[in-house]
C-alpha cells in the first residue's frame, strides 16, 4: 500500500506541476471562450470545436517511423553564427515613393514598406522557437537585422497562425505599443489580449475576408496546416495565408502550408503576384500534408501565378531533420528546370518590387559544411 502511494505521488506531482506551469505561464496563450466558439460554429471551416482544412490533412503519416525523427542529416545547423546584413531601418521606413520594399528577417518574418505603410509578417524575433529556452531550438544568430527599439511605429502586423516559431510572446511584449493594428486569423486575438494588446488594436478575419486600409487590401486566405500552443488546444484557432494587394504591387504570404488545391484557386482569384513568400523548410514525410518540400513550393508559386518565389521557413531555426541549407540548394536548382523565377536574399537585404534583384550569391554556403 505504501509503495502504491509513493508511486501515485511520483506520477501526480510532476503532472500537476506541468499543468500549473502551462496554465500560469503567459507564453502558452489563451484559449477561445465559450461565446467565441459559438460564434465560430457558424463558419463552414469550423466543426465540433475545431477549425478544419479544406482538404483532408493528416497531422502525421506513417511514411516516417518514430525512430526516424532522431536520425539527423549532417549540416543541420550553420558551422558558425549566422550574421544578418545590417538594415538601416531609418532609411528603409523613410522612403515612401510609390513603391514596395521588403526585407526577410529569417524564418517566415518580413518587414515591408508599402508606400510608407510599415507591415510586419509573422515577426518571430525571439531567441527560441519554443515556450521555454530549449538549446536545440535556439536561433542561429544572436542579433537581428535591426534593433526593434529603433522602430517607433508599425502600422500593421500580420500573423499566419499561433505556433511558437511564428507567434512569439517576447516579440509581442516588445512591439505591442508600437502597432496600429494586428490583423490575424480567428482566435489569435485571445493570445494577443492576454499579452496586453488592446482589443481595439486587433482585427480577426476568417478565410476570404479582408481588411482595407486606403489602397492596401489585406486578404485572409486558406492554408493547409493546423494550430495550437499546448497539448489540449489543437486547432482551436485558425491558420491562414495572406494576399497583400495594392496599386504598387501584390505579395502572397503562405504562412505554413502543405501543398493543396487552394494555391491554384488563390492564383485564379487574387493573382498574379509580384512576389510569393512560400513555406519551404522544416519538412519531412511525416508532415507532408502540413508543410511543403521545395519542389512543391515551386509548384505552388506557379499555381499562384508568381513572378518571383522567395522560399521561407528556413534560415533561423532547426525544426526538422534535413540539412539547414537543403531548401535553398534545391530551389536554386529545381526552379530553373521548372522555369520559375526565384529570389534567395540574405537576411537583412532590401528588395524593391520591379527592380533588378541581385540575389544570385549563394550566401548560405559560407555558413555550411557543404560549401
318-345 confidence digits (pLDDT tens): 999 899 999 999 999 999 999 999 999 9
- pLDDT higher than 60, residue 8: no
The mean pLDDT of 119-131, rounded to a whole number, is 97
Query: Angle 262-270/294-303 helices, nearest 10 degrees?
Result: 30
Q: Which residue has 535591426 as its cell numbers?
A: 146
What global pTM score does this model have?
Answer: 0.93
- pLDDT higher than 80, residue 6: no
> What are the residue boundaries of the structural domains of the chain, listed by start?
1-29, 31-367
Q: Which helix (H) or strand (E) holds 253?
A: strand 249-253
The mean pLDDT of 223-248, rounded to a whole number, is 94
pLDDT, position 348: 97
Percent of the chain at pLDDT above 70? 89
As a CATH number, domain 31-367 is 3.60.15.10
* pLDDT tens, position by position, 260-290: 999 999 999 999 999 999 999 999 988 889 9
- pLDDT higher than 90, residue 119: yes
pLDDT, position 63: 74
pLDDT, position 361: 85
CA distances from 122 to 253, 258, 273 (A): 10, 18, 19
* pLDDT tens, position by position, 13-26: 454 444 444 555 79
Sequence-distant (≥ 6) Cβ neighbours of residue 124 within 8 angstroms:
107, 108, 109, 164, 165, 166, 167, 168, 171, 316
Three-state SS letters, 236-247? CCCCCEEEEEEC
Amino acid at each position: 500500500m505504501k509503495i502504491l502511494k509513493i508511486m501515485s505521488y511520483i506520477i501526480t506531482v510532476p503532472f500537476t506541476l506541468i499543468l500549473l506551469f502551462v496554465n500560469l505561464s503567459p507564453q502558452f496563450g489563451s484559449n477561445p471562450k465559450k461565446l467565441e466558439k459559438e460564434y465560430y460554429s457558424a463558419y463552414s471551416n469550423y466543426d465540433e470545436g475545431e477549425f478544419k482544412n479544406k482538404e483532408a490533412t493528416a497531422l502525421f503519416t506513417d511514411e516516417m517511423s518514430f525512430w526516424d525523427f532522431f536520425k539527423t542529416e549532417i549540416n543541420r545547423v550553420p558551422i558558425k553564427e549566422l550574421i544578418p546584413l545590417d538594415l538601416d531601418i531609418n532609411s528603409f521606413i523613410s522612403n515612401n515613393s510609390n513603391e514596395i520594399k521588403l526585407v526577410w528577417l529569417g524564418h517566415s518574418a518580413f518587414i515591408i514598406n508599402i508606400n510608407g505603410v510599415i507591415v510586419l509578417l509573422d515577426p518571430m524575433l525571439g531567441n527560441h522557437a519554443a515556450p521555454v529556452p530549449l538549446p536545440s531550438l535556439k536561433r542561429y544568430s544572436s542579433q537581428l537585422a535591426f534593433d526593434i527599439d529603433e522602430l517607433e511605429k508599425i502600422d500593421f502586423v500580420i500573423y499566419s497562425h499561433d505556433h511558437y516559431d511564428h507567434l512569439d510572446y517576447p516579440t509581442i511584449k516588445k512591439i505591442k505599443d508600437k502597432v496600429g493594428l494586428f490583423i490575424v486569423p480567428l482566435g489569435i486575438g485571445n493570445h494577443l489580449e492576454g499579452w496586453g494588446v488592446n482589443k481595439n488594436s486587433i482585427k480577426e478575419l476568417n478565410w476570404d475576408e479582408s481588411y482595407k486600409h486606403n489602397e492596401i487590401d489585406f486578404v485572409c486566405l486558406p492554408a493547409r496546416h493546423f494550430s495550437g500552443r499546448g497539448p489540449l488546444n489543437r486547432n482551436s484557432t485558425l491558420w491562414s495565408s495572406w494576399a497583400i494587394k495594392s496599386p504598387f504591387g501584390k505579395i502572397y504570404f503562405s504562412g505554413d502550408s502543405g501543398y493543396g488545391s487552394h494555391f491554384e484557386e488563390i492564383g485564379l482569384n487574387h493573382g498574379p503576384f509580384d512576389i510569393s513568400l512560400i513555406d519551404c523548410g522544416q519538412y519531412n514525410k511525416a508532415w507532408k500534408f502540413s508543410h511543403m518540400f521545395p519542389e512543391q513550393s515551386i509548384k505552388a508559386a506557379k499555381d499562384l501565378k508568381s513572378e518571383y518565389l522567395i522560399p521561407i521557413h528556413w534560415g533561423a531555426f532547426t525544426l526538422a531533420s534535413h540539412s539547414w541549407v537543403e531548401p535553398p540548394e534545391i530551389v536554386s536548382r529545381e526552379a530553373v528546370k521548372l522555369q520559375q523565377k526565384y529570389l534567395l536574399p540574405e537576411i537583412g537585404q532590401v528588395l524593391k518590387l520591379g527592380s533588378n534583384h541581385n540575389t544570385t550569391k549563394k550566401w548560405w554556403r559560407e555558413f555550411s559544411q557543404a560549401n
